[in-house]
Amino acid sequence: MDLAIRGGTVVTAGGPVVTDVGVDGGRIAQLGGTVVADTEIDATGRFVLPGGVDAHVHLTSPVTGPGSYSWADDFTTGTRAALAGGVTTIGNMSFPRRGEQMADGLERDLADAAAHSLTDYFQHPVLLEPDAKGIDQIGELAAAGHPSIKVFLSFRRFDRQVLPYLDAMRRAAEVGSVVLLHCEDSSIMDSCWARLREEGRTHPRHYPESRPVEAERVATERAVSFCATTGAASYIVHLSSAAALEACRVARGRGLPVYVETRPIYLHLNRSRFEEPDGAKYAGAPPLREDSDRDALWAGVADGSVSTVCTDHAPWTLAEKLDPALDATDLRQGMAELETLMPVLWSEGVATGRISLARFVEVTSTNAAKLFGLYPRKGTIAPGSDADLVVWDPDATKVVDGSTMHSAAGYSHYDGWEVRGWPAVTISRGEVVATGAEVVAAPGRGRLVPRRPFERP
């Protein structure tokens, strides 16, 4: 064998067990028994977890030209942050530019990732134009190994084209493509923005009022009904509120294939952050909510009604976030999270006893791998699976300092937090790619992960 990881507590679907892991040819070759190998890693007193699968990141920018988005990280800096945080596979949102079809944007992002990504990767093509060509491409792309599309209910264009979007979801159901839905209602938000401007309440502290829970609730309820109508597997991205989670719980009770993703900030932070002098740095879409929403989401992670915790990594520099030209109606949304996803969730979730070890592995790795057709190559530690492993040190304690981390954002919204539980060694396809936060993998090392069409887990 190439590599033996000795004496660690391996977390598999069957639960934690102290055993040796043998790796050969980039795959898990043996669990237990006598492992003879060229190289050894001592994992005594540590956990051995499947590498994180973060199904929701933004490492390419959607459009060029005036007013365009330009997030701080590209595939190189973003995936370097990922490896330092124990994430070995990412799912990137691939945006077509103006006048392009989904397949054009995808082709560009596949080439970009092939040249620059340090982690393995897959892509979610964003469906901006559900015209006949766009709908045809859902099937073509699924057949080519890209069985997912992203839809934004939050864009005004959605409400102008609900019927063709439903046609798109029917096609997705036919070809086994998962539909990722950003659930916020554009009319409610437009109405709130107008009101805030009229009343002169545009300071960033009013950001939560600009995108209220009602906007998320009604869009999530619509998404559930669209799922029921079309049969498309529906993955609600970055769900933030108790009300929206309840809509999804009801849907699951009806037997619908509705899956919930939440995002670290909705578990760890609440809306009082916007009262801080630099509160704009916490802006994401949806906004931070109340403690009652946080409690509901933690309960959802613990009881399985939340399937995944993914980053929505979409970083800006602090100067860009705090740009005084912006107000509560147009703050820059998103933040760096790839390096902190697993450690902060461990620290706040596993170390505190809120969630079990098994749930931690499910929401950071296994469930995303299953929903997006990567399992069992990714998302588990089993013979034949890719040897994507994190030797996890549950006692390592660090104070977060974004200026020393790998994202080009240069800061973290957790700066100053003491976080307990960090990767000691990160392994991708059998190779050590990071020791602690020191990343040794080269850009372009990452590979596109083959995907299967959606099957109900």
Interface residue list for Zn ion (CB under 5 A): 312
Question: What are the Cα distances from residue 11, in Å, to 161, 249, 365, 380?
Answer: 45, 27, 12, 9
Cβ nearer to Zn ion, comparing 58 with 281: 58
Residues contacting 224, CB < 8 A, separation 6+: 234, 247, 248, 250, 251, 256, 258
Contact 29, 23 (CB under 8 A): yes
Cβ nearer to Zn ion, comparing 47 with 122: 122
Cβ nearer to Zn ion, comparing 9 with 210: 210
Quote the least distance from Cβ 273 to Zn ion, whole Å.
19
Quote the least distance from Cβ 391 to Zn ion, whole Å.
30
| Sheet strand arrangement including 148-152 | 148-152, 178-182, 234-236, 258-262, 308-309
| Sheet strand arrangement including 15-18 | 15-18, 9-12, 47-50, 389-399, 418-428, 431-435, 438-439
Residue number, nearest CB to Zn ion:
312
Angle at 339 between CA 328 and CA 275, to 5 degrees: 25
Quote the least distance from Cβ 237 to Zn ion, whole Å.
6
Cβ nearer to Zn ion, comparing 59 with 247: 59
CA 81 to centroid of chain Cα atoms? 14
Quote the least distance from Cβ 310 to Zn ion, whole Å.
9
Longest alpha-carbon distance in the chain = 72
Cβ nearer to Zn ion, comparing 35 with 183: 183
Cβ nearer to Zn ion, comparing 205 with 211: 211
In the three-class reduction of DSSP (H, G, I as helix; E, B as strand; rest coil), residue 141 is classed as helix
Residues contacting 325, CB < 8 A, separation 6+: none
Quote the least distance from Cβ 307 to Zn ion, whole Å.
16
Quote the least distance from Cβ 56 to Zn ion, whole Å.
6
Cβ nearer to Zn ion, comparing 184 with 312: 312
Quote the least distance from Cβ 368 to Zn ion, whole Å.
14
- 141 vs 305: CA distance, rounded Å: 29
